[in-house]
C-alpha cells in the first residue's frame, strides 16, 4: 500500500503530466509546423542548417518551456487552487491537523514536486514534437532528406541551451504550483472566493512566467558576455 503522500504525488503527476500529453503533443506538432512555414517563407527552403538552427533555438530556449507552462497553468493551476480552496472551506485542513497530518507535507510538497516533475517531462516531450514535426514538414517542402536535418541538429546542438531549457521548466513549474497553492489556501469564508482565487492564480502565474523568462534570458546573456 502506498504512502498517502506518495499517492497525492502520483495523482498530481498523472493529472498534470500524463493527462496533458494529448494537448502538449498537438501543440508541439502544430507550433513546429507553423515555425517552419514562417522560416521558409522568409528565408527560403534551401538551407537545412539555418532552418534547423532557428527551430532548435526557439524550441529549446523559448517555446518548449513557455508553452508547456501555459498548458500546465491553465489546466493544473486552476485545479490546484480550486481543490485546496474547497478543502479549506469544507474544514478538511482542520481534520488533517487534528489527525496529526501536516498540511505542508500532505497538500503542499507533493503538489509542488508533482508539477515540477511534470513540467520537466512535458517540456522535453513538447520539444521533440516541435522539432521532428517541424523538420519533417521542412523536408517535404524543400525535398531535402530528413537525415540531413538530423545531421544539422547534431551539429547545432548545444548542451548550454538544454540546461537553460531544463532550468526554465523546473522554475516555471515551481512558480505555477507555488502561486496556485498560495491562492487556494488564501480563501477565507465564502465559496464565491474560489473562482476568484483560481483567476488570481492564473493571472499571477502568467505574470511570473513572463518575468522569470526575462530574468533567466538576461542572466544567460550576461553570463555569455562575461
Q: How far apart are CA 29 and CA 26, in angstroms?
A: 5
Place of cell 521558409: 40
Question: What is the domain extent for residue 79?
Answer: 4-225
The three grid cell numbers given for residue 161, joined into one nine-digit string: 541551451
pLDDT, tens digit (0-9, with 9 covering 90-100), for 90-103 = 888 888 878 877 87
Residue with cell 504512502: 3
For residue 73, pLDDT over 60 is answered with yes
The pTM score is: 0.89
Task: Please choose, from the candidates 83, 128, 76, 126, the residue with its C-alpha nearest in 3D space to the C-alpha of residue 106.
Answer: 83
Which residues have C-beta within 8 Å of that of residue 67, sequence separation ≥ 6? Answer: 27, 28, 31, 126
pLDDT the model gives residue 209: 94
- DSSP for 4-22? HHHHHHHHHHHHHTGGGHH
* CA–CA dist 51, 143 (Å, integer): 14
Q: What are the two backbone dihedrals, phi and then psi, of residue 188, each rounded to the nearest 5 degrees?
A: -100, -80
Overall number of domains in the chain: 1
First to last CA, the chain: 52
Q: What is the pLDDT of residues 94-142, one digit of tens each?
A: 888 788 778 788 889 999 999 999 999 999 999 888 888 777 777 776 6
Q: Residue 27: name the closest of 160, 128, 153 by CA.
A: 128
Amino acid at each position: 500500500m502506498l504512502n498517502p503522500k506518495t499517492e497525492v504525488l502520483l495523482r498530481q503527476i498523472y493529472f498534470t503530466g500524463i493527462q496533458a500529453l494529448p494537448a502538449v503533443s498537438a501543440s508541439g506538432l502544430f507550433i513546429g509546423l507553423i515555425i517552419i512555414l514562417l522560416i521558409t517563407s522568409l528565408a527560403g527552403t534551401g538551407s537545412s542548417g539555418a532552418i534547423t538552427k532557428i527551430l532548435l533555438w526557439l524550441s529549446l530556449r523559448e517555446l518548449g518551456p513557455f508553452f508547456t507552462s501555459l498548458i500546465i497553468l491553465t489546466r493544473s493551476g486552476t485545479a490546484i487552487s480550486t481543490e485546496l480552496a474547497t478543502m479549506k472551506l469544507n474544514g478538511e485542513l482542520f481534520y488533517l491537523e487534528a489527525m496529526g497530518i501536516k498540511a505542508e507535507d500532505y497538500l503542499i510538497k507533493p503538489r509542488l514536486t508533482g508539477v515540477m516533475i511534470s513540467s520537466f517531462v512535458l517540456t522535453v516531450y513538447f520539444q521533440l514534437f516541435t522539432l521532428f514535426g517541424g523538420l519533417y514538414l521542412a523536408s517535404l517542402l524543400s525535398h531535402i532528406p530528413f537525415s540531413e536535418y538530423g545531421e544539422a541538429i547534431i551539429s547545432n546542438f548545444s548542451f548550454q541551451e538544454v540546461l537553460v531549457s531544463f532550468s526554465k521548466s523546473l522554475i516555471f513549474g515551481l512558480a505555477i504550483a507555488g502561486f496556485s497553492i498560495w491562492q487556494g489556501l488564501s480563501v477565507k469564508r465564502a465559496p464565491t472566493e474560489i473562482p476568484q482565487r483560481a483567476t488570481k492564480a492564473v493571472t499571477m502565474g502568467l505574470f511570473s512566467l513572463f518575468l522569470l523568462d526575462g530574468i533567466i534570458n538576461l542572466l544567460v546573456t550576461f553570463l555569455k558576455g562575461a
